[in-house]
């Protein structure tokens, strides 16, 4: 039977891979929306900046920094005080989870303005 730390390391590796994918996708979206070519149907060809995408970019960078540290802590016998405790790990994962949930929620919501609501009714 596998040790619980090995299972946690596998999950941290998966988290790291997903964070790297998210980093690439958000960087590409920021690059695309800030450098729109003339005549592009998105936003009339005018470049714009979506702040929540920058938040997802920062969240993925924080995850890329946290996951290797957590893997190192779980696979070794080193002691870094609070960071190696279960409370420290749970706190870091809670904050990352909240960043991901808020970022995904705001990024996936269709923004409807007041004028759009008036025209619908």
Digitized pLDDT (tens) for each residue of the chain, 121 residues in all: 468 888 899 999 999 999 999 999 999 988 888 888 888 777 777 888 788 888 999 999 999 999 999 998 887 766 666 666 788 889 999 999 999 999 988 888 765 555 555 555 5
- For the chain, domain boundaries: 4-120
Q: Measuring CA to CA, how many Å separate 46 from each of 34, 50, 87, 106?
A: 8, 13, 47, 22
pLDDT in the model for residue 41 = 79
pTM exceeds 0.85? no
Q: Is residue 106 within 8 Å of residue 98, measured between CB atoms?
A: no
pLDDT in the model for residue 1 = 42
Longest dimension (CA), the chain: 64
pLDDT in the model for residue 63 = 97
């Amino acid at each position: 039977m596998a040790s619980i730390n090995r299972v946690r390391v596998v999950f941290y590796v998966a988290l790291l891979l997903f964070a790297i994918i998210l980093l690439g996708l958000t960087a590409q979206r920021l690059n695309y929306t800030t450098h729109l070519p003339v005549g592009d149907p998105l936003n009339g060809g005018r470049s714009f900046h979506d702040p929540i995408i920058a938040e997802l970019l920062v969240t993925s960078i924080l995850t890329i920094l946290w996951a290797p540290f957590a893997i190192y802590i779980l696979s070794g016998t080193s002691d870094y005080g609070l960071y190696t405790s279960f409370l420290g790990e749970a706190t870091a994962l809670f904050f990352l989870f909240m960043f991901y949930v808020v970022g995904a929620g705001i990024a996936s919501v269709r923004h409807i303005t007041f004028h759009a609501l008036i025209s619908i009714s």
